[in-house]
A and B are shown apart, each in its own frame.
Chain A
Amino acid sequence: MSTQVHQTGSVKDYFVSLYEGVTSTARAMWITFKYVWSVKPVSIEYPEVREVLPERARMRLFNDALNCISCTQCAMACPVDCIYIAFEKFPEGTEIRKASNGQAIRLKLTQFVIDTALCCYCGLCTTVCPTECLTHSHDYEFSQYTVDLMKYDYLAPDVVAWRDRIVKS
């Protein structure tokens, strides 16, 4: 590369550096000028167009509470302690349902709350769930006005009803 940095102040240096300055700038400007007509747009015009996320994308968590066996593996695996689980034993004589992977549900889940404001979306809880009821959905637009509204209760009746509408079994 012949571009000089140390200049001695002679007339020849003046013209050489002028030539180098003009040619390097012209070369660069030609590259940017090509973008005027030859490039496809790369921006996605959110919110009119939403990108289709890949299958493994880790967005907000969703728990299918009717399939949960209350093993609390997710709460123990969570590095920031954002899953709060409470369960109790069924009263005697209730028949035992089976979860979707065949395991029997022996404990009654009384509280399953995830604080999505604390969640770091690492996915460690979804990998240890034995029935795979805790999964990542593709929802990333769930901001709220107050931090308290970021706590998601997956035993709330409207959530369970929504899940029944979609999951037929």
Chain B
Amino acid sequence: MLNQLVELINKNVPGANATAFIPEDTAKLDGSVTVEAAKILDIATWLRSNTEMPFNALHVISAVDYVEYFEVCYMFAHYDVENPREVILKVKLTDRVDPRLDSIVSVYPAANFQEREAFDMMGVRFNNHPDPRRILCPDDWVGFPLRKDYVYPKMYNGMEVFPDSKMNFEDREFKARQDLINKAQKAASVDEVQ
């Protein structure tokens, strides 16, 4: 199914460069189709409106941070009793500072909230999105939490993030303190002997 889809995409959407990844063990892992980032809107339009292999719903947009690049996975599904199918469409973004993609809200309205979440959590911006705001984090939060190099802010609006009184440092470091005390005692007893 994936190879057929790749052929159809390459035929109908010029410049898409679709490639299929089929894992060796298909019972354990899912295959996916990787496409060119700049053509995502054309591909989405074709996916919704074509007659050979239509996909009538977008399930979820999941952004994954591999340290050198981002990968945005679109899960499309077709709800039809005779030919149900689903596919994972992946797009690779190499710009770490300001990754951008075209928004597919005009084709799949489900993408509205999903793209807002991808922006909120991973920092991937979508062009022409009707409501580009954060969705889960507060509107004035700084930083993109699900990135691998995310550093927690120390303060937020005058409140301390991870205050020391709740971190149980004394209990966690009990062993280290005990070791220090024992070492000091041993050194003191050695001194006395000498």
> Which residues 134-168 of B have a CB within 8 angstroms of A?
166, 168
- The proximity string for B residues 150-194 relative to A, scoring 1 for CB distances below 8 Å and 0 otherwise, is 000000000000000010100110110011001000000000000
**A110 x B174 contact (CB < 8 A):** yes
Main secondary structure of the interface of B (DSSP, over half): helix
What interface size band does chain A fall in?
Answer: 10 to 19
**B175 x A113 contact (CB < 8 A):** no
Which of A86, A115, A118, A151 makes the CB contact (< 8 A) with B175?
A: A86
Size of interface on B: residues with Cβ below 8 Å to A? 9
Task: Give A78 to B115 CA distance when docked, in angstroms.
Answer: 34
Q: Does A87 contact B (CB under 8 A)?
A: yes
Which of A84, A85, A87, A88 makes the CB contact (< 8 A) with B168?
A: A84
> Which residues 97-152 of B have a CB within 8 angstroms of A?
none
Chain B residues in 8 Å Cβ range of A151 = 168, 171
**A110 x B171 contact (CB < 8 A):** no
**A87 x B171 contact (CB < 8 A):** no
**B182 x A111 contact (CB < 8 A):** no
Task: Give A86 to B179 CA distance when docked, in angstroms.
Answer: 10
Chain A residues in 8 Å Cβ range of B172 = 84
**B178 x A84 contact (CB < 8 A):** no
- The proximity string for A residues 77-108 relative to B, scoring 1 for CB distances below 8 Å and 0 otherwise, is 00000001111100000000000000000000
B39 to chain A, nearest CB (A): 42
**B171 x A88 contact (CB < 8 A):** no
Residues of B within 8 A of A (CB): 166, 168, 171-172, 174-175, 178-179, 182
Listed from nearest, the 4 A-B pairs whose CB atoms lie closest are A86-B175, A84-B171, A86-B174, A111-B174
Of the A-B pairs whose beta carbons lie under 8 Å apart in the complex, a sample of 23, sorted by A's number, is A84-B168, A84-B171, A84-B172, A86-B174, A86-B175, A86-B178, A87-B175, A88-B175, A88-B178, A88-B182, A110-B174, A110-B175, A110-B178, A111-B171, A111-B174, A111-B175, A111-B178, A113-B171, A113-B174, A115-B168, A118-B168, A147-B166, A151-B171
Residues of A within 8 A of B (CB): 84-88, 110-111, 113, 115, 118, 147, 151
Additional A-B contacts beyond A84-B174, A88-B175 (18; CB < 8 A): A84-B168, A84-B171, A84-B172, A85-B175, A86-B174, A86-B178, A87-B175, A88-B178, A110-B175, A111-B171, A111-B175, A113-B171, A113-B174, A115-B168, A115-B171, A118-B168, A147-B166, A151-B168
